[in-house]
Amino acid sequence: MTRPAGGLEGQAILVTGGGTGIGAACAKALVADGAAVTICGRRNEALEAAAERIGAVADCGGTIQTIVADVTDEESMAAAVKKALEPTGRLNGCVANAGGGGGMGPYHVLDTAEFLRVLNLNVLGTMLSVKLSVPHMVEAGGGSFVGMSSIAGHVPHAYFGAYCVGKAGIEEMMRNAANE
């Protein structure tokens, strides 16, 4: 049985970190509501497996496509945004979901390189998603941007180091971007 689309027909949406977990669940819901969704992530196998699962709900007109991309690399993200434009010629939304942790422990013993890796993944990855997707949404007459955070962004979590800082950074970035 084909269920009616949920109002996102003709809307193109990019989901970063869309191959697993929350990103894949967001992509599935968007496709089920009729959107043309592009998922990106670093591992092609995870992306293809997610696309296969998500394609099962595409009977309402939504579509799914994949591209391997690293949110911390501007050229890679530019290619992901370009791919997301393909189905409709515009971009109506972006879910900046890619992120992660690491660098656990008290700050006085944290490895600096690992701390920066986690910050880059969470903060720089979200910033590049904003930088590269928002101009297309403006051109399309509007859109929606979601920056995925965590309770760790506003409630202290001992030994979560860079993860808490990164998620707090995403929350402030979203407030600033909305104000712009």
Asked whether the beta carbons of 91 and 137 are under 8 A apart, the reply is: yes
Task: Supply the residues annotated as catalytic.
Answer: 163
Q: Considering only CA atoms, which of 72, 43, 37 is closest in space to residue 55?
A: 37
Report how far residue 8's alpha carbon sits from residue 10's, in angstroms, rounded to the nearest whole number: 6
Number of residues that make up the chain = 180
Q: H or E element: which one contains 16?
A: strand 12-16
**5 pLDDT more than 70:** no
Rg (CA), the chain: 17
- pLDDT tens digits, one per residue of 85-138: 999 999 999 999 999 999 889 999 999 999 999 999 999 999 999 999 999 999
Asked whether the beta carbons of 166 and 145 are under 8 A apart, the reply is: no
Instruction: Write down the residue that tokens 């991309």 correspond to.
Output: 69
What domains are there in the chain, each with its CATH number? 12-179 (3.40.50.720)
**Edge-to-edge, what's the strand order for the sheet holding 63-68?**
63-68, 36-41, 12-16, 93-96, 144-147
Q: What pLDDT is recorded for position 20?
A: 97
Cβ count near 40 (within 10 Å):
29
Q: What pLDDT is recorded for position 4?
A: 53
**CA 170 to chain centroid:** 12
Q: What pLDDT is recorded for position 1?
A: 40
Segment 62-84 mean pLDDT: 98
Cβ count near 82 (within 10 Å):
14
